[in-house]
Structure 1
Amino acid sequence: MTHHTTQSPQFFLTAPSPCPYIDGQFERKVFTHLVGDKAPEMNDLLTQGGFRRSQNIAYRPACETCRACVSVRILVNEFKPTKNMKRVTQHNSDLVGAMHDAEPSTEQYSLFRKYLDARHRKGGMSDMTVLDYAMMVEDTHVNTKIIEYRRRGPDSFITGHGHGELIAVALSDQMADGLSMVYSYFDPEMDERSLGTFMILDHIARARAAGLPHVYLGYWVNGSRKMNYKVRFTPQEHLGSKGWERYAHEAV
């Protein structure tokens, strides 16, 4: 049995593999295990240092010739939605998100599979089974939550729960200085709702209500179309060689 010490974590380096974002590049990652009583504290420190969490692993890019992946966090207290974002919020005003402990369900997996099959058929997660999905949700030693989005019910303002079919899901970590969006997915047949944008806006609202200054969005890759949405949520900070620095970008 392998023993992992939380006081002095061991870091490992993956072998090179083709980059999923930039053609012709190869990626490597440095990673460590997030286990034990100190895992939440370690997750906070590593996330602030540019790491991401996947199950009980914290990782960050360690590519030899490329620094395109940049950690992004939104400055919650200064954030102001654009006109388009206000329209997205209004369009989804019939939805309510219920937050609870990270527990998987068959309903979640059905929506997850529908999303993958429509949006990421050739991606690295495309062959995930229901057991793989359960591990993605449950295998955590930090304060992880699931937010399920459904249409508002008559008792939504009492219970905080919607009713009807599951429309979108976010898996997120609650940290000392913010919320970290680990993974999110939604009904691909509801493109007109811009549910990805709506869930980020909802996380900003939740962080602000909880007095948390940041929402962590993971990595932005300049030049990758699938990542462009992340820099629309301003003001935000990017992690560089001098630490977290404000990023100048005109939101639309």
Structure 2
Amino acid sequence: MTQSLRLFLSTEHACGYLPGLLARSAFVDPDAGLGAAHYQRLLELGFRRSGDHTYRPHCRECARCVPVRIDAQQFRADRSQRRCQRDNADLQMTIERRLTDEHYALYREYLQTRHAGGGMDPHDRKAFHAFLECSWLDVRFWCFRAAGKLLAVAVVDHLPQALSAVYTFFDPGARDRGLGTLAILEQIRIARVTGLDHVYLGYWVDGSRKMDYKRRYHPLEALQGVQWRELEEAAAAPK
């Protein structure tokens, strides 16, 4: 990618990960005309998308949002992850191209149970599509079912050299299955068999319990400056 891109700064708002802190983001010009190759490069530089918008945290006094990715070819599942795969061997996975009423019903149930009061309105169908879909990217919806019943949907961006995990929602009544873990393990598996290098997981936030699960995938690489290094090495390096 050789074109230059304009960036815009958002206003400051309460941080969604660390209480008491303010956050803001740098957004890529929405008229930039991005595509898969452009976005692949932006991921490598620490950006992320939400709907059609591509952003990166740009906070005044905090740099704890660290872009992370899994080395798919070197990944080795631990005991707990292997157990998760065994426990879900009865599920069938399909990869679908569009969001449907079935997906939306599960999303609503997930938000009402798991993220009540979290700022996302489960009854806003327009926001559901705007958040998960992207007009300029190949987005697919990985669906996990048991005996025909939809239990989980993983929203995955398919890129030339990687997969990017956007969001996963699941049946709250099936939380003991570890469906979020299963979705990531399946993305790693598909990346490996199709020769892709990485699975991008967005940001790991030091001090945020809800983001700490990402450290369970090894080797996990973190972006430090312009270089990707193993997370433990990057975290120990002088800032």
TM over 0.5: yes
Point out where structure 2 has 5 or more consecutive residues left out of the alignment.
234-239
* Cα distance, 1:34 vs structure 2: 5.5
Mapped pair 1:51 → 2:47: yes
CA separation in 2, counterparts of 1:47 and 1:75? 14
Q: Name which of 211, 214, 229 aligns with 1:230.
A: 214
**In the alignment, which residue of structure 1 is the partner of 2:192?**
208
1:33–1:56 CA contact under 8 A, matched in 2: no
Matches within 5 A, 1:96-245: 96-101=92-97, 103-127=98-122, 129-151=124-146, 164-245=148-229
**In the alignment, which residue of structure 2 is the partner of 1:17?**
13
**In the alignment, which residue of structure 1 is the partner of 2:85?**
89
CA separation in 2, counterparts of 1:242 and 1:60? 14
CA separation in 1, counterparts of 2:141 and 2:31? 20
Aligned AA for 2:179?
Answer: L
* Cα distance, 1:122 vs structure 2: 1.5
2:6–2:28 CA contact under 8 A, matched in 1: yes
Point out where structure 1 has 5 or more consecutive residues left out of the alignment.
1-5, 152-162
TM-align CA RMSD:
1.8
TM-score, normalisation: structure 2: 0.91
CA separation in 2, counterparts of 1:41 and 1:30? 20
- The percentage of counterpart residues that share the same residue type is 38
Aligned AA for 2:18?
Answer: I
CA separation in 1, counterparts of 2:13 and 2:34? 31
Aligned AA for 1:188?
Answer: P
* Cα distance, 1:100 vs structure 2: 2.4
Residue 46 of structure 2 aligns to a residue whose secondary structure is coil
